[in-house]
Amino acid sequence: MNEAKILVERHGSILTIGINRPAKRNAIDVEMFFEMATAYGVLDQDPELRVGIVHAVGDHFCAGLDLPKWQDIITNGRMPEYPEGSCDPFAMADGRICRKPIIFAVQGICYTFGVETMLAADVRIAARDTRFAQLEVKRGIFPFGGATVRLVHEIGWGHAMRYLLTGDEMSAEEAYRLGLVQELVEPGQQLDRAMQLASSIAAQAPLAVQATLASARESLRDGEDLAFAGLFPRLMQLSGSEDVKEGLQAFMERRPGAFAGR
């Protein structure tokens, strides 16, 4: 019996999604992509889940797409239908974007698909041995998972072009300096640190966390004016929730809130 290439595990309110194809340096075939999309959908839809973590088994996070397996999709220029209830790991498909925070924990090589899905996530932890690269120009294609948009936003035009147009590797230290990753840890500690951060996020009011994420994303996708205009309407949607009452009560009683997500 073949071991699953995508490992999905629940840890209380945290869902971990593990890439498990170490013999191929965790290169992503089409089946793995849609298994990830299905796992993202579970995170999005299950009210008991509050945070997701994407990590990888072995020495490397991801060598990128298993290109021969993607040849038909690249030639046709469009993705197949997503499984019902799934969410796009690239976070580009309207109506299929996970509404809950996702943390990436990466190590070793993190190329192409690894970088682009990481860019679509919310917090990124990298081992100090991580090497990042968008290699598409070396293969005759270009980054079609969002890096031409998101990497520019994250690290600026000149820095983004320096790596997108050459396909050169970026060290973990350089990625941290430029703001591509938020923390560096010793190799082997990246998943533990991601779990710590996920636990901290999961302890907060879930509806408030999701509203914060939605407002920030609205600013990036639709512009600041629409995001500003949506602040108080979004706040009003939360105002009658049990979590708001619990938050105020916890504040007055000088204790952590016990939030139910209602």
Burial of 248 (C-beta count, 10 Å sphere; 0-12/13-18/19+): exposed
Helix 242-252 to helix 206-222 angle (10° resolution) is: 110
User: Measured in whole angstroms, how far is the alpha carbon of residue 117 from the centre of its chain?
Assistant: 6
3-state secondary structure of 96: coil
Catalytic site includes residue 246: no
3-state secondary structure of 224: helix
The token pair at 233 is 């309407």
At 2, the amino acid letter reads N
User: Measured in whole angstroms, how far is the alpha carbon of residue 8 from the centre of its chain?
Assistant: 15
Catalytic residue among 31, 35, 84, 136: 136
Catalytic site includes residue 116: yes
For 112, how many CA atoms within 13 A lie in the half-sphere containing its CB? 19
Strand order in the sheet with 131-133: 109-111, 131-133, 170-171
Catalytic residue among 84, 116, 169, 186: 116
List, by residue number, the catalytic residues. 116, 136
